[in-house]
Amino acid sequence: MAERSESDSRNLLGRLRDTLAEEGPAQARLDRITHLIADSIHTEVCSIYLFRDADTLELCATEGLRPEAVHQTRMRVGEGLVGKVAKTAEPVNTEDAPSMPGFRYMAETGEEIYSSFLGLPIQRLGETLGVLVVQSREKRTFTDDEIYALEVVAMVLAEMKELGAFVGEGAALAAPHQRSEMFHGTVGQEGTAEGHVWLHEPRVVVTNLVADDPEAELERLDQAVERLRVGVDEMLQSVSTADKDQRDVLEAYRMFANSRGWMKRMQEDITRGLSAEAAVEKEQSTARARMQVVADAYLRERLHDLDDLSNRLLRILTGQGKHTGAEMPASPILIARNIGPAELLDYGRSLRGIVLEEGSVGSHAVIIARALAIPLLVHAERITTEALNGDHVMVDGENGIVHLRPDESVVTAFRDKMAMQAEAQKRYVTLRDKPAETRDGIRIALHMNAGLMADLPSLDSSGAEGVGLFRTELQFLVRDKMPRRGELVQIYDQVMDAAHGMTVQFRTLDIGSDKVLPYMNPTDEPNPALGWRAIRVGLDKPGVMRMQLQALIRAANGRPLTIMFPFVAQFDEFRAARDHVFRELEREASLGHVLPENIEVGAMLETPSLAFAPRQFFEMADFISIGGNDLKQFFFAADRENERVRRRYDTLNVSFLSFIEQIVERCRDVGTRLSFCGEDAGRPVEAMCFAAMGVRTLSMRPASIGPVKHLLRRVDLAEARAVINQARAGGSMSVRPAIRGWLTGLRS
């Protein structure tokens, strides 16, 4: 019996393929398909229901029900047995449909005489497009084999490109990957962008769904799976035992690649007439459908792994690599599950926007996207499954929203918003050469943060007065091996050249915590942000820090040099690091190198403890820069990368502002130069409040200089200060509402 049904279903698939290949009106072909299925499965009725919109299904073709009902009969998702299949994406199989809970017959179809009912979802890559139903008068329960065969048929049906055309007059059925969708993500880099999807890892296109020679297909599958297993084993061998996360993922890959169940299901699909790649895709589709409903994060991750593995297998079977020959569209918006910093740099400024399914706001890719000022969202779930190369897409990096294939109203509203931003940008350009001077005559120096060669052109275009933070670790992060001293000399030399004599505050390597170098042994720390990082590594293992100091001295080659140490928690650490600088100066001099004309050594204030350091620290430091990103996370004990707590404490919280004020006073007492270089310096309202507390230098992303300057030039800082003081005295938790109210008053 099983054998007969296998050959039946192969026959059916063959006939189906011929029908699909036929020319002619789409409706006629769909009608023929229902006829074929009913004939082959020996039922009186076969019907196809498709989604008309997100909530409604429509009868689009039938063999056996009344023809007048086609394109007339509709039901809501969840309504009746057909609606139930659509809602749950699970088959309903009963010999006595009328007795089923939720049964509801549609009188106009004449279906009341049929007792047995089998309904299956028509799915493509985890997305339900409609429902395939067979019915018969005779009471019968459909066998597992029959269900299986129909599932395969449903999958082939789902591949029909023109499914959308089958819906009634004027109705716009959003066929797979055609309807507009909205995704929510977390903002990694603000900004808005409109463009077309460019998939970092394009989906494999399967064109041959049905195959005539199952033996040959089984052989192909075997060989491909074998290659896949070898590949996974090789990857596992190449990963260091210390890299636990990557090993976990690869171990999961290996488990799936050796899973008998997975293999058996694909083999069964092939025996029923699918090609090897269609069988893989069918399994992938099932995994995706499950992925959308499982709540458990670990399980979802594993299903994601299976999805990845299926993609690899499809690439082996079809020979399609990452480069499918597709041309990058104009205004590309990169969509990926995740991306490494080096890969992102390869794309460079050609990208208009980036949307990632994973990633975190502190990841290297995000740091790079920020440096390149490309709007970026992370955690946009399902986007890689839904987006197709070339799709129209709009990224709203203010509100963390992606509009995929947006409809007209969204396009219009979004373009209006972009036009307003462009207007503002024009205004900022006119401010480029004007000082950031407040109404009451206080000059604030605006510097930029940098770290990549790609940042250098911004030195000219932004109107920055210097580089307040050069994150040297970015040059280390984007490489797959430790850069040599000579390379660093070249890079630092170019940076100083581009600065045309303006100050560049080179921050020594800040690794550890979220910044892990791929070529250094990861340390397994329970709490890396509070662990062995930045200057702690530099002092304990000074080799790399010394090499970096030598490179900086050589690159300066007689020019002034400014060096800043990250993550200093106590005076001793600063003194020891500073001693290294002077030791290296001596060494370089003894080797005959020209020494910098002037050298300044400063510290980043990123831990609350440093604000309470002895006066001698403030006297010894040539300057101090507040690293607000870290300072804020330690001040409030709220992880800067943890979405749950990140925004819980406002930067304009009175405690934090009062703390900044104390730091200002301590620096003022001994005449130590002070700046603020965390992300908040680039937010106009925050920047203005820091200035009101007495900070006179702010360092930020180049793109923020215009907006910050624009606001500073419009306000009276003494007034702002009075508003802040009043809010503090009144017991407010944050001064934001008071400042916002005051700014609104200014505008009107």
Binding to Mg ion by residue 465, rule CB under 5 A? no
Which of 196, 304, 364, 403 does the annotation list as catalytic?
364
Binding to Mg ion by residue 679, rule CB under 5 A? no
Binding to ligand PEP by residue 641, rule CB under 6 A? no
Pick from 341, 463, 628, 706 the residue near ligand PEP by CB under 6 A.
628
Binding to ligand PEP by residue 602, rule CB under 6 A? no
Pick from 151, 357, 473, 630 the residue near Mg ion by CB under 5 A.
630
Segment interacting with ligand PEP (CB under 6 A) among 35-43, 58-66, 293-301, 622-630: 622-630
Buried b or exposed e, range 622-635, using 16+ CB within 10 angstroms = bbbbbbbebbbbbb
317 alpha carbon, distance to own chain's centre: 28
Phi/psi of residue 546, nearest 5 degrees:
-65, -45
Residue 678 interaction partner, one of ligand PEP, Mg ion, none, beta carbon < 5-8 Å per kind = ligand PEP
Annotation marks residue 667 as catalytic: no
Residue 220 interaction partner, one of Mg ion, ligand PEP, none, beta carbon < 5-8 Å per kind = none
From the CB of residue 195, how many other CB atoms can be counted at a distance below 10 Å?
19
> Which residue in the block uniquely carries the two structure tokens 């001077």?
437
Hey, which residues does 404 pair with through a beta bridge? 181, 393
Binding to Mg ion by residue 362, rule CB under 5 A? no
Element (H, E) at 186: strand 186-189
Which one, 130 or 627, has the nearer CB to ligand PEP?
627
From the CB of residue 317, how many other CB atoms can be counted at a distance below 10 Å?
25
Segment interacting with Mg ion (CB under 5 A) among 247-255, 626-634, 690-698, 713-721: 626-634
Minimum CB separation of residue 372 from ligand PEP in Å reads 16
Minimum CB separation of residue 629 from Mg ion in Å reads 5
From the CB of residue 668, how many other CB atoms can be counted at a distance below 10 Å?
13
Segment interacting with Mg ion (CB under 5 A) among 120-128, 142-150, 254-262, 630-638: 630-638
Minimum CB separation of residue 187 from Mg ion in Å reads 19
Cβ-contact 366, 372 below 8 angstroms: no
From the CB of residue 679, how many other CB atoms can be counted at a distance below 10 Å?
19
Binding to ligand PEP by CB under 6 A, coded x per residue (else -) over 381-400, reads --------------------
Minimum CB separation of residue 367 from Mg ion in Å reads 11
Segment interacting with Mg ion (CB under 5 A) among 239-247, 326-334, 628-636, 698-706: 628-636
Binding to Mg ion by CB under 5 A, coded x per residue (else -) over 558-597, reads ----------------------------------------
Binding to Mg ion by residue 627, rule CB under 5 A? yes
Cβ-contact 214, 270 below 8 angstroms: yes
Q: Where are the beta strands (DSSP E) in 442-490?
A: 443-450, 467-471
Binding to ligand PEP by residue 195, rule CB under 6 A? no
**Burial class of residue 473 in the structure, from the number of CB atoms within 10 Å of its CB (0-12 exposed, 13-18 middle, 19+ buried):** buried
Cβ-contact 210, 278 below 8 angstroms: yes
Which one, 696 or 714, has the nearer CB to ligand PEP?
696
Hey, which residues does 124 pair with through a beta bridge? 127
Segment interacting with ligand PEP (CB under 6 A) among 230-238, 417-425, 627-635, 641-649: 627-635
Inter-CA distances, 710 with 246, 328, 446, 560, 673, Å = 46, 37, 12, 31, 24
Minimum CB separation of residue 147 from ligand PEP in Å reads 56
Inter-CA distances, 693 with 237, 295, 439, 654, 700, Å = 55, 46, 16, 11, 18
Residues 39-58 close enough to bind ligand PEP by CB under 6 A: none
Minimum CB separation of residue 458 from ligand PEP in Å reads 17
Minimum CB separation of residue 622 from ligand PEP in Å reads 18
d(CA 259, CA 236): 17
d(CA 713, CA 675): 19
From the CB of residue 219, how many other CB atoms can be counted at a distance below 10 Å?
13
Annotation marks residue 46 as catalytic: no
Binding to ligand PEP by residue 677, rule CB under 6 A? yes
Is beta strand 353-356 parallel, antiparallel or unpaired with respect to 376-378? parallel
Residues that bind Mg ion (CB under 5 A): 606, 627, 630
Q: Which residues are catalytic?
A: 364, 677
